[in-house]
């Protein structure tokens, strides 16, 4: 008779057509249950699961459990079997508390994510730059009037403090980018790379984007205008800040933007998935292709 392995939030069960034959329940404590649920989220096999199937051939319906048995997620048995937690002493209150704790841990983990911290720094940098521009403009207007130094000096100190913080944030972004996204940082520069990550909504989201989308990140308004009114679509977004594009003749900028976007796409995938340093090869490819573009 076929044996089936089923894991619920409160325990793991060995079943056959006659019903539940064996069970190993989790401790009735929120933190203990959450610990096991996080292991499951990370595609790890629980010690309870290994123990319950020892020397037993089983059918499983989770890819995570392939090492323990035959994987068949369409097996009808898994849809018909019902296991009630309350029959094993696991209350709705315990389930509710566990769910809240699990959600809290997920949120905390997301908030601690390095690339999300990087996004906050980029957004803060933009705010400071905008503030510095406003203060500088106000100070310029003020200086046109006959004003005592005593009145202007506190304002100048404020502007100086804002500019100092801009430099500090830029330095910190460069340091963090070399750790978080070293390939991307070397290919496009740490500040432009950080801005791309912020516009994409995170490093992993950017890694899943096609190169064509990376190319126009930051040009959303121009893209919307093109879709609404027609005309020419944008050729580049914030990557235009890179010297190889903004210093190039207008006729070459589109091709160079496509080239850089393609290499950035490769770089960010390496940063997220393989963690390999591929910058030397990418930089060689960029240099070779730039020479070809310029010759044309």
Q: How far is CA 268 from CA 119, 122, 208, 234, 276, in A?
A: 16, 18, 9, 22, 11
- Domain 182-296 belongs in CATH node 1.10.246.90: yes
Nearest to 98 by CA among 8, 24, 6: 8
pLDDT attached to residue 225? 65
Q: What is the mean pLDDT of the chain?
A: 89
Residue 20 C-beta-side C-alpha neighbours within 13 Å: 17
Judge whether 40 and 46 are in contact, CB under 8 Å: yes
The DSSP letter of residue 181 is -
Fold of 113-180: Helix Hairpins (1.10.287)
Distance, CA of 64 to chain centre: 23
**Which CATH class name applies to 4-111?**
alpha beta
Global pTM value: 0.64
Domain residue spans of the chain: 4-111, 113-180, 182-296
**By CB neighbour count within 10 A (0-12 exposed, 13-18 middle, 19+ buried), where does 54 fall?**
exposed
Per-residue pLDDT of the chain (296 residues), as tens digits, is 799 999 999 999 999 999 999 999 999 999 999 999 999 999 999 999 999 999 899 999 999 999 999 999 889 999 899 999 999 999 999 999 999 999 988 877 765 678 888 999 999 999 999 999 999 998 888 888 887 788 888 888 999 999 999 999 999 999 999 988 999 999 999 999 999 999 999 988 999 999 999 998 887 665 566 566 666 666 667 888 888 888 888 888 889 999 999 999 999 999 988 889 999 999 999 999 988 888 86
């Amino acid at each position: 008779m076929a044996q089936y392995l089923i894991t619920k939030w409160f325990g793991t069960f060995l079943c056959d057509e006659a019903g539940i034959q064996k069970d190993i329940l989790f401790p009735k404590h929120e933190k203990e249950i959450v610990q096991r649920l996080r292991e499951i989220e990370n595609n790890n096999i629980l010690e309870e699961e290994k123990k319950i199937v020892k020397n037993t051939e089983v059918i499983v319906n989770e890819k995570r459990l392939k090492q323990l048995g035959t994987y068949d997620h369409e097996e009808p048995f898994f849809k018909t079997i019902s296991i009630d937690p309350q029959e094993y002493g696991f209350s709705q209150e315990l389930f509710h508390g566990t769910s809240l704790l699990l959600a809290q841990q997920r949120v905390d983990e997301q908030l601690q994510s390095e690339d999300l911290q990087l996004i906050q720094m980029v957004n803060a940098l933009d705010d400071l730059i905008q503030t510095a521009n406003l203060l500088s403009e106000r100070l310029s207007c003020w200086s046109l009037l006959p004003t005592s130094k005593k009145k202007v000096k506190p304002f100048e100190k404020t502007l100086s403090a804002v500019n100092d913080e801009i430099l500090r944030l830029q330095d910190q972004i460069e340091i963090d980018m070399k750790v978080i996204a070293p390939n991307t940082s070397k290919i496009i520069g740490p500040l432009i790379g950080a801005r791309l990550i912020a516009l994409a909504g995170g490093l992993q989201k950017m890694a899943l984007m096609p190169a064509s989308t990376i190319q126009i990140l930051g040009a959303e308004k121009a893209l919307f205008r093109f879709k609404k009114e027609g005309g020419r679509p944008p050729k580049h977004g914030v990557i235009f800040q890179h010297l190889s594009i903004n210093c190039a003749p207008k006729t070459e900028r589109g091709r160079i933007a496509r080239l850089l976007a393609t290499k950035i796409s490769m770089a960010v995938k390496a940063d997220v998935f393989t963690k390999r340093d591929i910058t030397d090869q990418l930089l060689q490819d960029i240099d070779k292709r730039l020479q070809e573009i310029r010759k044309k």
